[in-house]
Structure 1
Amino acid sequence: MDKREQYERVFSHFDGDKDRKISPAELRQCVATVGGGDISLEEAEAAVEVLDGDGDGQLGFEDFVAFVEGGGAEEKAADLKEAFKMYEMDGGGCITPKSLKKMLSRLGESRSLGECKVMIAKFDLDGDGVINFDEFRVMMS
């Protein structure tokens, strides 16, 4: 049996409701069973959020393989945070049209402030005119 078949068996074992997805609650059980210690539901939800390839709030098989192989979830989260910091620039915890314009200019992409507002509006889920880290994560996935 190759590694992928083993992963499939483990995935199927922890997919309690057999929907071909592992929920945060199922992930908690998985971690506890394989000797990874106890993780809170919040930690499981955060892990699923980082690894969730299609944004449905659960892990599909490929997401699970990335998790099991240590597919760089922590590294991916750290990279996203670093990229976010590059765009936010002013330390305010969000990307503003002005900071987006500055960063795009540094990258050789000259955009007007109005164009930057339009770009931000596409991913501004809460309608506050700026991109926070959660919105940035959605945008980058």
Structure 2
Amino acid sequence: MNKSHEYERVFNHFDENGDGKISPAKLQQCVKAVGGELSLVEAEEVVQALDTDGDGLLGLEDFIRFMEEVGEEEKLNDLKEAFKLYEMDGCGCITPKSLKRMLSRLGESRTLEECKLMIALFDLDGDGDLNFHEFRVMMS
């Protein structure tokens, strides 16, 4: 089952009267049902931002779009955390040396030359290191 269908199923569960709309309080419950957290104030702000007809309620399509955006944001945050693990020299990039060190911690023994070659595959600007954008391309 893809995520959109899962979100639709959750939405329909909380849309008790079947009108295709949910309140901010129900949005909060939907987000919680799929493992997220959203305060009532945040839910009210989301509904206000996405409410196209001004009735103070959120429709299914807007709910799915919101949940997909939240999912993308979580993936980006996970990538940033992973990047920080490899970027150990404080330079804002993954160097062959920092890659070798991290791989070694993970039980993968690589030479510095092998690490240079690994980085070269995704080094879009040719500077010998991976910045976050290049790391993101590599991980996608």
| TM-score normalised by L of structure 2 | 0.54
Q: Which runs of 5+ in 2 are unaligned?
A: 10-47, 53-61
Give 1:69 shift. Answer: 2.3
1:34 to 26, 32, 50: 50
Give 1:65 shift. Answer: 9.0
Q: Over alpha carbons, which structure has the higher Rg?
A: 2
Provide the rounded CA distance (Å) in 1 between the counterparts of 2:94 and 2:65.
Answer: 29
Question: Partner of 1:129: helix, strand, or coil?
Answer: coil
Q: Which residue of the partner structure matches residue 120 of structure 1?
A: 119
Provide the rounded CA distance (Å) in 2 between the counterparts of 1:98 and 1:89.
Answer: 9
Letter in 1 for 2:51: G
Q: Can you list the C-alpha shifts for 1:39-58, whole angstroms capped at 9, x where unaligned?
A: xxxxxxxxxxxxxxxxxxxx
| TM-score normalised by L of structure 1 | 0.54
TM superposition outliers: structure 1 runs of 4+ over 2 Å: 32-36, 64-71
Q: Which runs of 5+ in 1 are unaligned?
A: 5-31, 37-63
Name the structure, 1 or 2, with higher relative contact order (CA <8 Å, separation 6+): 2
Kindly tell me: are residues 140 and 67 of structure 1, through their superposed partners in 2, closer, same or farther at Cα, counting changes over 3 Å? farther
Q: Can you list the C-alpha shifts for 1:53-81, whole angstroms capped at 9, x where unaligned?
A: xxxxxxxxxxx997442452221111100
